[in-house]
Structure 1
Amino acid sequence: MNFNLTTDFTVTERFLRYVSIDTQSDPASKTQPSTAKQKNLGNLLVKELLEMGVADAHLDEFGYVYATVPANTAKPNIPVICFCSHMDTSPDCSGENVKPIIHKNYDGSDLVLPDDQTQVLRIHEHPDLKNQLGNDIITASGTTLLGADNKAGVAEIMDACYQLINNPQIKHGNIRILFTPDEEIGRGVDKVDIKKLGAYAGYTIDGESAGNMENETFSADGARLIINGVSSHPGFAKGKMESAIKIAAIIVAMLPFDKSPENTEGMEGFIHPVGINGHVEQATIDFILRDFEAENLERYANELRRIADEVLEDFPGSTYELKVSEQYRNMKQKLDEHPEIVAYGMEAINRAGMNAKLCSIRGGTDGSRLSFMGLPCPNIFAGEHAFHGKQEWVSVQDMQKAVMTILHLSAIWEENA
């Protein structure tokens, strides 16, 4: 089902423009946003929104873009909904000097990226390519990520704004737009002004395969294990030294094999060491703890304590401390309190010509935290694939389907008011 748009899609041109701007976030930075260059994209988005007639578009001091597409219907009491995507790209792979390539009319053959011909997209390694025959695939050139995570979502929301303004036959209430920095480093909504946003429900546009909608994420904790060893001169260390580095290594080696990311899938959680730092006298291990059931996170923390206790039995002069901090919680808990939010999203995907599929995501989104900040917020597909790496890709047609989904979703809220 289409709206018989009187304007062409602009999502592809927007996407190609946005990925050329380096917006990589930096987990070591203490500033907000973590990198000033993220504001370069934010300023461009504000300029484009103002040019299309979104009068209140602005970039705040923390790097957030806020805007409103005003209601065009006389119907009263339509809930305000918000569409959200993040502007930053992952620190895991360079986002500088991205050179996007459109591979027209994909025929199922290998896609060799020209600037590094060892980077090859093969259909058996990227299964969703089977659904893209005849479509136009966008990749980077082989030396950078593409930035489809999440500039595809940004471009889709921007095109949806353009279509809503230029196609007044699509009736809708007030639509709030939010573009965030620093999602990739877990700080994407640290400074969001929920009161200013003023929305009843939100939708992040940051998912993978076309037709998918995610109403469930991991619950997440961070854990830091601080090991205090015993230092002495290595030439006279026998019976004295207890190296915190070696203690840390033993602890990591004793982590449960069946609770690691490499050996879990589906609804299974994990304990994952993400960093080790230290010297003989003191060492730290940073972990992320993930599970769909929040109560299991405490079990994982207790498992770390059990392992540390067991290891330190052989190091009587050493001690440890485990500090656990909450990161985010499974958004399903909040979404189940407002079932229409997910139901309308599924209906919009179906109206846009796909078979809607409700999924869980082995990760988190800005929506995870927004849901617990008072904005229930599931995640809708953006079409991005193989994110955080040089083989990242998206198809033009999937981005257009995401635009149509946003338009239908805007209309469904108006219809049901």
Structure 2
Amino acid sequence: MKSLLDRFLSYVRVDTQSDPKSDSTPSTDKQWVLAKQLFEELKDIGLVEVTMDEKGYIMATLPANLEKEVPVIGFVSHYDTSPDFTATGVNPRIIKDYDGKDIVLNSEKNIVLSPDYFEDLLLYKGQDLIVTDGTTLLGADDKAGVAEIVTAMEYLIAHPEIRHGKVRIGFTPDEEIGRGAHHFDVEQFGAEWAYTMDGSQIGELEYENFNAARAKITARGKSVHPGYAKDKMVNAIGIITEFASRLPGEEVPEKTSGREGFFHIHHLEGSIESASLEMIIRDHDRARFEDRKRFLELIVAELNQKYPNALDIEMKDQYYNMREKVEPVYHIVEIAKEAMEQLGIAPIIKPIRGGTDGSQLSFKGLPCPNIFAGGHNFHGKYEYVPIQSMEKAVEVIIRICELTAGKS
């Protein structure tokens, strides 16, 4: 059997960064490298019904090893990594028996992973951490989840004394750009419910997430020589920054937490003739989410009165809060909670300040809470994952399979 650590390290060294500007699925050809590797690996460890479609969605089956009929459950993770930070040349390093002090990731560039800033590090004093070299992200989001699922399935195959029903697993591309579940065939997957292994800190168990939309606001201007511009020039940059100034200053990611929603401008460019900004809108409450979108439309309408027909807005919903789909089958959360408690893990049930494939899958008919994969500081050079957290995630998967069979 391949070790969890070796499996994870082999995955993160493959660059699978997705691209929001691409219309293909997967959005980048390099995702196919790991997809094909996973496809072969699942067959090699003994899973059956291993498939990979033309869009890079991978599914496989661990057959039941007991005679009674029990629910078919699933586990899902994504193999792409965020476009927010480079994933080329990932060079992971293992910090054995972490001492609670600063970790120098890159001495030449003076990049330090410090508990003074990232306090969660102190939770893992005495454990073994996998960190970056300070020049790339790590890819624990969500290659930790992929490695944990594959390792758990291999363990169950090697230990038939552990009784379980039929288990389906699925790996998706492009989750980081909001498309991970777009082409996921829930009917083909054939599970009654599933769990995404895509959370962070050990113990996280989530069945609430943001309602999410994205928006692009474009401003049109008129360029005139600045010396003769009075009452003639229309500066698109000025209009787009005026739009941005109308947004509530306290409702941004860096000033909100818990169930507080936000507006987040993540891209801004322009000239006098044309300027645009791209942003995301997030809120756990559906009514407030709709209010936020109407607020943006109102700003555009008001500015178009001031600068006739200068602004356009394009807005599109991305996903919704899966709570409304999971609560009616809350026993699936309770099974995961019980699995953690039996393993000595304190469940941390809290809303996700983001989304997972599970949010879209839940609305496609596959209720799908989210379970920790172990990583921290996703999407950047300070990303790390404790090996012990990954090992516990594997144990949780196995115990959920046992509990589901035992409760039927």
Q: TM-score range by the shorter chain?
A: over 0.9
Q: 2:39 is matched with which residue: 37, 42, 46?
A: 46
Tell me the alpha carbon deviations over residues 294-345 of structure 1, each in whole angstroms, 9 at most, x when there is no partner: 1112211222233334444443x34433332111000111001111111111
8 Å contact from structure 2 (residues 250, 256) kept in 1: yes
Tell me the alpha carbon deviations over residues 8-35 of structure 1, each in whole angstroms, 9 at most, x when there is no partner: x821111111111111111111211011
8 Å contact from structure 1 (residues 230, 318) kept in 2: no
Tell me the alpha carbon deviations over residues 235-291 of structure 1, each in whole angstroms, 9 at most, x when there is no partner: 643212222221111111221112222221111101122223444344333221100
Query: Taking structure 2 as the reference length, what is the TM-score of the superposition?
Result: 0.95
8 Å contact from structure 2 (residues 72, 166) kept in 1: yes
State the number of aligned residues: 408
Change (3 A) 1:15 1:115: farther
Change (3 A) 1:154 1:307: same
Cα RMSD after superposing both structures: 1.8
8 Å contact from structure 2 (residues 84, 380) kept in 1: yes
1:15 matched to 2:18? The reply is: no
Give 2:276's aligned residue: 284
Give 2:86's aligned residue: 94
Deviation for aligned residue 1:133? 2.0
SS at match of 2:350: strand
8 Å contact from structure 1 (residues 227, 284) kept in 2: yes
Give 1:73's aligned residue: 66
Q: 2:164 is matched with which residue: 172, 188, 211?
A: 172
Give 1:3's aligned residue: none
Report the AA paired with residue 41 of structure 1. L
1:402 matched to 2:393? The reply is: yes
- State the alpha-carbon separation in 2 of the partners of residues 380 and 180 from structure 1: 16
Give 2:358's aligned residue: 367
Deviation for aligned residue 1:58? 2.7
8 Å contact from structure 2 (residues 106, 112) kept in 1: no
- State the alpha-carbon separation in 1 of the partners of residues 169 and 374 from structure 2: 19
* Correspondences of 1:130-141 after superposition (within 5 Å): 130-141=122-133
Unmatched 5+ stretches in structure 1: 1-6
Unmatched 5+ stretches in structure 2: none
Query: Taking structure 1 as the reference length, what is the TM-score of the superposition?
Result: 0.93
Give 2:381's aligned residue: 390
Deviation for aligned residue 1:114? 4.0
- State the alpha-carbon separation in 1 of the partners of residues 9 and 108 from structure 2: 20
- State the alpha-carbon separation in 1 of the partners of residues 39 and 250 from structure 2: 47
* Correspondences of 1:119-134 after superposition (within 5 Å): 119-134=111-126
- State the alpha-carbon separation in 1 of the partners of residues 219 and 378 from structure 2: 35
Q: Between 242-251 and 278-287, report the one with greater CA deviation.
A: 278-287
1:193 matched to 2:172? The reply is: no
Deviation for aligned residue 1:177? 0.7
Give 2:299's aligned residue: 307
Give 1:4's aligned residue: none
Change (3 A) 1:239 1:318: farther
